[in-house]
Amino acid sequence: MDFLNELNDAQREAVIATEGWVRVIAGAGSGKTRALTHRFAFLVNELGILPGNILCVTFTNKSANEMRQRIHQLTGDNDTGYINTFHGFCVSILQEDSHAFQYPRSFLVLDNSDIDAMLQIIYEERGLTLRDMTFSAARDMIEIKKLFKEPDYYRDMISMSLETLKEKYDRATAAGDIIFYGYLYQEKKCFGLDYNDLIKFSLYIFQEHPNIRLKWQQRLEYIMIDEFQDIDSLQYELMEVLCGYHKNLFIVGDPDQTIYTWRGANVKYLLDFDREHPGTRTIMMMRNYRSTPEILAAANSLIAHNQNRMEKELIPTLPSGKPVMCHFAASPEAEAQAIVDEIKELQSQGVRLGDITILYRAHYVTRAVEEALLKGQVPYTLYSGVQFYNRKEVKDALSYLRMIAYKDDLSFRRVANTPKRNLGKRRMAFLEEYAARRGCSLYQALQENLDDPTLKGTKAQQFISLIELFAAEHEGKPVSEVLAAILNESGYEKMLRTEGNQDRLDNLAELKQSVYVYETTCGEEVTLPHYLTYAALLTNADGGNDAKDKVKLMTVHAAKGLEFPYVWICGMNEGIFPSRKVRTLQGMEEERRLAFVALTRAEQGLYLSMAGGRSYDGSPWYPSRFLLDIDQALLTFTLPPQEGLIQEAREYVERSTRYLPEDDSDMLMAVGQRVRHSMFGEGTVLEVGEGAHVVQFDSMATPRKISFKAKLERI
């Protein structure tokens, strides 16, 4: 048992506690992966358990692969049992026992692109448009129906013939029913299962076939589950079934790192585990081997402000290091420049670019940072995202501006049919052939063929009129104004709103902000060609060479489970981090947990920054409440905050928090719910929209939109 000597007391206790219910509360950087892998090796090497009788569940395929490699090194055995995600393990169950639900062993596992392809077929078959429901909303609706509204849907998929399911789809009249039953039909037609189906079908097999259930229960003598704070109700139910025979379940999690409640995670399964499973042995792993005491002190100070948590603190083991730096910049551009300056300073001290990571709450925040990195010739790589100026909506917006200024073919091809103007492949081929024959531009070809029968039924004339109007009137106007107007009048922003794509709208808002900043800082009158040249330089700039030594940029969610020597968390402003989408106290606590995750990614150096000033719509930017939550004595400010800014920010936070309900159950009313308003009296909820209920009050002739902030009493 020499390998146990590598472990501290809490890790060793976790490894040798093999029987019964075991709960490990493992703080960030406390070595939980080491404990899990060593426990697996202990079961195999010391107790003689066969790897094929052990199930180890992780939450990502990447984590599962890393764990397999570590376990292989510890055991020397090529058989590493079932080390998988919940969904991956369910695939193993369903493939082995596919006969139990009359699907072939080679069924399809569907991803989002497959689902969208099915939705496309349904929409075309039944004449639906994105105005009926966006694809994003349709996917959410399907998931909600499967999980909550029609949880027994899988019985239809299993028991009904394809013909009967098709009839159910054909009879549907409401858009939601058409999409849902059409989707079930398409799934059955190709023997496809999505992620929800994998667990539902596995539970169905276990419920309907006790012999199969017992087979799997007996096979899995030991079950270990990582990241237990992220488990949802279906995963919990599956876990309860699987450990029902041997009753050996080992769970690891950190309630302070619950950041996925929006996709069904429920931390109560971790917090209440000992109540549900009497005799549970709880082991606390709080010794942190990742971060300096300075970083941990800031993280502990931040998370202590959450009310719904298990009281605990990370304990440092590393020697003292650099102070946690905090930078209050005058603008996003100044913030970005400060980041680049600090990166170059670290470089001069011998720090590799690959050891530096910039984290942010949302992708649109990267615009100013990317620009500064490009100008400073600092190589970088973007994780789980596309570089700002390469994002589709940004390229589309710039192409509209280029159409106004240049009417070039590249821009024409990009936006002539975006939004849809019936200028599809056939008509574009006609214009290409005409332009090649006459030696003219595609735009000119369109102008000269407006009366051609080929273009009948298109919106070609509207497109020409739009471009001509802007081409004639843009001179002398601020580019930011021209951009806002063309995105509005072309219908482009309306298209994104119809699709329900808020991320893309956020990126366009950031582009408008960047144009405004360019105008106000250029020091001379800015023309449209000036700006387009500037943007082209940014778009075409080399974001780095092929070497691996690059600064990493990623969202905090993408950084979960990772660690980096030096971390800069930018955009720590109210409305950015925490997100402006937070509408409940529980949601705010989750945002604070997300900030905690961000802070605890850093090993040696941690930098926090925010941008002051005002956005293009005139609203002020305040420092994030999470910066204010941290004991100010634990932060070293590069510049003292502006006089009165901290107090102003605290007042803003207090005002914005005052009316937040505890959770969604307090806030959201169902359509048809009778309610009472303190002033308007009784009424009926007609609709639940973005941030508001639409209520028809008995005393009023017309409905009112009532903000979620207002208290509505159920009656």
Residues that are catalytic: 32-33, 226-227, 257, 601
Q: How many residues does the chain have?
A: 715
- Four-point Cα dihedral 359, 363, 365, 370, nearest 10: 80
Whether omega before 641 lies within 30 degrees of 0, making that bond cis, reads: no
Count of alpha carbons within 13 angstroms of residue 712, beta-carbon side: 30
Q: How far is CA 30 from CA 55, 234, 290, 600, in A?
A: 22, 28, 8, 11
CB atoms within 10 A of CB 578: 24
Helices (H), 21-96: 32-41, 61-75, 86-96
- Nearest Cα to Cα of residue 225 among 10, 26, 11, 13: 26
Contacts of 466 (CB under 8 A, 6+ apart): 486, 489, 490
H/E element, 366: helix 366-375
Cβ atoms < 10 Å from Cβ of 654: 10
**3-state SS assignment for residue 649:** helix
- Assess whether the previous peptide bond of 703 is cis (omega < 30° from 0): no
3-class secondary-structure state, position 108: strand
Q: Which is it for the CA torsion 142, 145, 146, 147, positive or negative?
A: positive
Q: What is the 3-state secondary structure (H, E, C) of 554-581?
A: EEHHHHCCCCEEEEEECCCECECCCECC
Q: What are phi and psi of 309, to 5 degrees?
A: -155, 165
- Of 43, 14, 16, the C-alpha closest to 220 is 43
Q: Give dist(CA 311, CA 594) in Å, integer.
A: 17
Q: Rounded to an integer, what distance in angstroms lies between the CA atom of residue 322 and that of residue 325?
A: 8
Cα 68 to chain centroid distance, Å, stands at: 27
Query: Before 578, cis peptide (omega within 30)?
Result: yes
Phi, psi of 696 (to 5 degrees): -95, 105
For residue 497, give the nearest of 480, 509, 479 by alpha carbon. 509
The span from the CA of 73 to the CA of 506, in Å, is: 46
Residue of 3, 9, 99, 98 whose CA lies nearest to 46: 3
Dihedral (CA of 189, 194, 198, 199) sign: negative
Largest CA distance in the chain: 86
